[in-house]
Structure 1
Amino acid sequence: MWLKLHDNNGPIFINMDTVTHFQRVEGQRRTTLVTFAPNSGACGMLKVQEPPDEIMEMLWEE
């Protein structure tokens, strides 16, 4: 499932099927997402502007 989120440069599309976990950035509304690509074994970390609660609402709406 793809979600449209936002980083410092504007909108980005995240494949939530590759996100292993996400958490709030301490003291901020931002969220850190950790992704994992099983085919290549690559991991990545992204910071988005949406808080975790908002991301959860988007997931439930889909």
Structure 2
Amino acid sequence: MWLKLHDNNGPIFVNMDNATHFQRVEGQRRTTLVTFAANNGSCMTLQVQESPDEIMEMLWEE
């Protein structure tokens, strides 16, 4: 499932099926997401503006 989230440069589309976890950065208004690609074992860390609660709400709406 793809979600349209936002980083400092604008919209970013994240495949949430590959997200292993996400959490709010303490003291800041950013959420860190970690995604894992099983086909090649790569891992990517993203920082987005949406809160974990907003992300969970988006997931439940899909």
Task: Indicate the residue corresponding to 1:13 in structure 2.
Answer: 13
The Cα RMSD (Å) is 0.6
Give ranges in structure 1 of 5+ residues lacking alignment. none
The separation in 2 between residues aligned to 1:31 and 1:17, in whole angstroms, is 17
Deviations 1:8-41 (A, max 9, x none): 0000100000100000010123110000000000
- Residue identity matched to 2:13: F
Q: Which runs of 4+ in 1 moved over 2 A?
A: none
Matched length: 62
Give ranges in structure 2 of 5+ residues lacking alignment. none
Percent identity between the aligned chains?
84
* Length-normalised TM-score, structure 1: 0.97
